[in-house]
Chain A
Amino acid sequence: MIFSSELIKGTLKTIVLKLLSDNKKMYGYEITQRVKDLTGDRIQLTEGALYPTLHSLEEEGLVTTELEYMGKRVRKYYKLSASGKTRSKERVSELAEFMETMRVLLDIQPKIA
């Protein structure tokens, strides 16, 4: 099952922040691939959503960037700033609480392994 873009939209920033806190620095393509791998292809970030988010995180000062020149191409690496690290933790725990609340609200029975 591939999740709808509405579901991903609200959590995209959290996903990116968490990935960047686990990895020193990443570039756009790498982020999409990592998400694909980690979720077994179930979450596929679209470029149209990822790059605007990365730009807005940069504008907010949560991530810093670093350019790597590769011949004719320039690769832009993203990494967390100090405030980004704090925000990453906040967003992850906020989402965890949200998921717990949704579980109660939607009356989802936890699967017993």
Chain B
Amino acid sequence: MYCLSDEQIDYILNDIRRNGVEMEDLQLNLLDHICCIIEQELKEGDDFEHFYQQTVRRFYRNNLREIEEETIDLLTFKNYYAMKKALIVSGASSVTAFIAGSFFKFMYWPGASILLTLGIVSFSLLFLPLLFILKSREVKTVSDKFVIAIGILVGIMFSLAILFIMMHWPGANILLFSAIGGAAFVLLPTYFFTGIRRPETKLNTILMSIILVGVIGLQFTIARLRPSPFDKVATANFVQNEALLKVLVPSQPSEAAAGIYKTCTELKELLLRQAVGATAIPADYDERKLYLHDSKLGDAFFDNGPGVQLLTTLKEQAKQFNSGAQNGVMVIGAGMPALVDDPQRVSHNYGCISLLNSIEQLQIYVAVADAKNTTAAK
């Protein structure tokens, strides 16, 4: 039996590593295996290196790395069915949550936002990445893999953009435009030019490209590139009214009026945080194109949220104000739009701008009424 020296063992191990076998387990297995063969078959005095090269040559067709690739393939293939199952389950549950969430939102039922968020997050961060892993294994060429990667990436960005828009999170528009831009300028050209070259995929590629152009075009049409001119005027009006209010509100208002101001301020802050991400319209709103728009009310105005509670408080405070106004010089009429009939259902009849304006108007009215009543009392 041939006796291998430590140097020879190192030589073999280094050669295995140099040939691209990276898994340590596999390196050790192959090292031991080769050593066994050499010990059994090599005779004392034979050329070690020559024999080694011949032995290792029997292990593979093209290169030694094949063994490692085959191992990895076998290991991942085992997970293939589990992944496929996970793909279907995550896809189906995301879509169910998403559709149920939309329906809940439509019906103003509680839990709509949670369902929608869960649905979109699992769709974009679970289903789509899994889809990428499985689909990219099915194609052979690098360009096909690239097209799939870009397609999935655009999909993730697009669905997250929808979530951001829905939740009024900052960065929604950047995400949406990156997704549309990525689809139009990266996905579409790469998809088109990889597919058109192969005769068997030519027709499908052309058809799919047309559909893709159509969808991107439609998306582009509904995307708000520029704020609507109405929003600009509405924002300017609001800013003017705020300035007017500052002048009208006395430094020492009556107790009843002070309560109303406080509630109104809290309500406005709630609405503004949702609309522009701050508790007041910034002075440079025009340069920053930071306009209000009459979007739907946020979650605070559903299901007895803080907005609903504040509106209820406001009605109480208006009643107190009226009972305190001696001789009834100037009372708050029950028809004032800020005194919402049913605060629970405020989101049915008001948008962001209309509610803001109503509150603003009430504050101005109270400021004037309060001043008049105080003078009359004297």
Chain A residues in contact with chain B, CB under 8 A? 27-29, 32, 46-49, 51-56, 59-60, 71-76
Q: A72-B6, A76-B28 are in contact. Are A47 and B33 (CB under 8 A)?
A: yes
Q: A29-B37, A60-B78, A73-B9 are in contact. Are A51 and B71 (CB under 8 A)?
A: yes
Q: A48-B60, A72-B6 are in contact. Are A55 and B33 (CB under 8 A)?
A: no
A76, B32: Cβ atoms under 8 Å? yes
A60 to chain B, nearest CB (A): 6
18 A-B contacts (beta carbon < 8 Å): A27-B32, A28-B29, A29-B37, A48-B67, A48-B70, A51-B26, A51-B33, A52-B71, A52-B73, A56-B78, A59-B78, A60-B78, A71-B6, A72-B13, A73-B31, A74-B31, A75-B32, A76-B25
A73, B35: Cβ atoms under 8 Å? yes
8 closest A-B pairs by beta carbon, nearest first, are: A29-B36, A56-B74, A52-B71, A52-B70, A72-B9, A47-B59, A74-B28, A29-B33
A56, B29: Cβ atoms under 8 Å? no
* Interface residue B10 (Cβ < 8 Å from any Cβ of A): yes
A27 to chain B, nearest CB (A): 7
Interface residues on B, range: 20 to 34
Distance, CA A46 to CA B58, complexed state (A)? 8
Distance, CA A32 to CA B31, complexed state (A)? 15
Q: Which residues of A contact B74 (CB under 8 A)?
A: 52-53, 55-56
A106 to chain B, nearest CB (A): 29
Mask of B237-250 contacts with A, CB within 8 angstroms, 1/0: 00000000000000
Contact of A73 (CB < 8 Å), options: B32, B58, B59: B32
